[in-house]
Chains A and B, each alone.
Chain A
């Protein structure tokens, strides 16, 4: 089984989630990915929880790869790393800015030997500017980039997303994007190039719409519970059984459908609510009308009725439920993978489908250095001869 990136070779010197997640994507697309670690291992090995003694973060972020160990402070091993990269299409690293160059694997060195290399770096705050030397981690970038300031209960100053990975994985995703775009450019120019992304910029990127509201008005979009800023009604409503239903009305047609579903046809053509712009302007009055209607019946009634009227809706699904949800199983969004070291584990399915070059099933990577002998024997026979 091939995959869309069949034949593309990737060498990754990644730490924690960002760099590894990018090469995990490329591996899922069929690239041949080699993860290089120092003899001590990368720091994600230290992050709990563990599965059979291996950090689950390490397992999750390093699917679809082969794992080797090289001591990059040792001349022979560094030369081996360079030989691996000579033969590669993509090199990914997310050490602090400048660190990879100090190891003798900087862009100038690498590209002089392999001008076709796409040399991709990710950092916390970018390679220039007063914060370029800061170590970054997901919650710090969350706090800094403004992301928390639009999330939370009304009246608060915003809260952290306690799943401390969304900005890490977004940065990894933007890194994958950059690598693939540079590979497209290489198809035209014949040359690789250096590309950089950073967590701060990625964190701003996925706030594009909220920041645009701020840029256009000068007004901070405040934490608003479950409510959207520029459409209404677009929030969760409490039902008679104490459960909540998330309801999203983003067009005037859906507003009409919602009123039918709720049995409040007389409100549908009320001039205060007939257009989205007026519903947003008169949001408080609008919600005051809708809340008692939702509170009169249980969530089950509303999800059925709203779905019958094609009004976007869902309960707030409980975690355990999600794996069994028919929409999740039908699209194989969460899948179980048999692994050599950790039993059968749940992993995320790939976020894309390729009609012409179907993806191979994902596979567990391995333990630190598990494939060193195999990979070096195959790619750098001279090294294997020296060390065996």
Chain B
């Protein structure tokens, strides 16, 4: 193992995306992570897009690398004893059973930390541990719908649009890692662990916090974070071979004049919407939506490609990027040079592409430690490490407690 969390033991008792994503990040950061699944497997193993043909679902594979996997029926006493032994092994436990559920099965933090005072326990829930919805199940879409994100997408009166990415889940996973790491920093000083809690709704209202403050008695309504409700959808700028996104922030009058000459747009030089060298007429500027057709028409008349527009804008000290779908993104030299994508070899799913770890630690590098486990792949290995005799392990298999 390598990485900042070398030597830390993590027990992942969660399913789906948020908890497993957090545990995977701890694994990428060098922790020894054991994932416990029910005999039927993590529910994410059933989340398959209609084009998916691999033995494992993309959802499961994407949030479970850098872990070992055991499969235990924790509903009965013998299975629960194994979970108890794993908790005793762990420095960190992640669970998403819902508020109060751990207490119900005799595994509350207070109980299990009695003889294990350094234990860090992180509970992940959809809606938090208080309030009328605390015991209800939640999903990505439901949390997006409750946290205002859908109000800055699409058009008023049209069917609602969600963020395509699973941000309520994945941003929560990031906050879980923060809380766990902070608790480990504390523990290294005090020796004391503690119970932590994160939830998806808190994640999303926190991420939306900038807007809430901007809406808090502003001197004037207009501003970057207040006008998104009423703006039309922004699809970037259409050019001959795709779309670009671009803006002007730093250029001087010479850059501006040259740009307008190149685009045959001198007629607009005195249009007040183009004042300030186009700062409010491009990107997310105040007048950008209404003057966008003028720019697109100029690009079209010059038969400009995506690449030509980007080159011109950069030469005028503006910012410009291709509007990327995943194919376009993967063609970008920058993505290759930065090694943002790596490959993983999985025993049954084969070799596939995956994202590299999110951070660069110059002295203790984070790396993909191992492929996502097959269901129960490390059950015997882990039970042996826990000191269970081979005879006992055989009996646990035969009685269906583990697999």
Contacts and interface: CB of A to CB of B under 8 A. Distances in A.
A185 B361 contact: yes
A163 B16 CA distance: 27
A188 B6 contact: yes
B131 interface: yes
A90 to B, nearest CB: 11
Chain B, interface size category, equals 35 or more
Contacts of A328: 201, 205
Interface string A239-252: 00000101110111
Q: Which of A126, A251, A352 is packed against the most chain B CB atoms within 10 Å?
A: A352
A25 B182 CA distance: 11
Nearest to A356: B194
Contact of B362 (A125, A163, A195, A214): A195
A216 B61 contact: yes
Contact of B49 (A52, A221, A247): A221
Contact of A327 (B127, B218, B329, B332): B127
Nearest to A229: B49
21 contacts: A49-B214, A125-B338, A130-B337, A140-B247, A140-B321, A152-B164, A162-B233, A163-B211, A165-B225, A174-B359, A181-B5, A207-B164, A209-B165, A210-B164, A226-B160, A226-B162, A252-B46, A312-B136, A348-B208, A348-B210, A349-B202
Given A184-B184, A354-B196, A280 B50 contact: yes
Given A146-B324, A151-B153, A196-B359, A357 B8 contact: no
B251 interface: no
A374 interface: no
Contacts, number: 551
Interface in A74-131: 125-126, 128-131
Given A125-B334, A143-B245, A220 B159 contact: no
Given A139-B284, A165-B211, A316-B160, A185 B5 contact: yes
A60 B195 contact: no
Contacts of B145: 236, 246, 314-317
B361 A193 contact: yes
Size range of the chain A interface in the assembly = 35 or more
B260 to A, nearest CB: 22
B360 A145 contact: no
A207 B335 CA distance: 15
B59 to A, nearest CB: 6
Contacts of A229: 49
A64 interface: no
A128 B58 contact: no
Given A206-B165, A347-B209, A50 B220 contact: yes
B174 A60 contact: no
A276 B196 contact: no
A334 interface: yes
A267 interface: no
Interface stretch (B71-79, B267-275, B350-358, B378-386): B350-358
Contacts of A301: none
Interface in A311-336: 311-319, 322-323, 325-331, 333-334
Interface string A149-163: 111110011111111
B280 to A, nearest CB: 11
Interface stretch (A34-42, A65-73, A197-205, A377-385): A197-205
Contacts of A246: 141-142, 144-145, 160
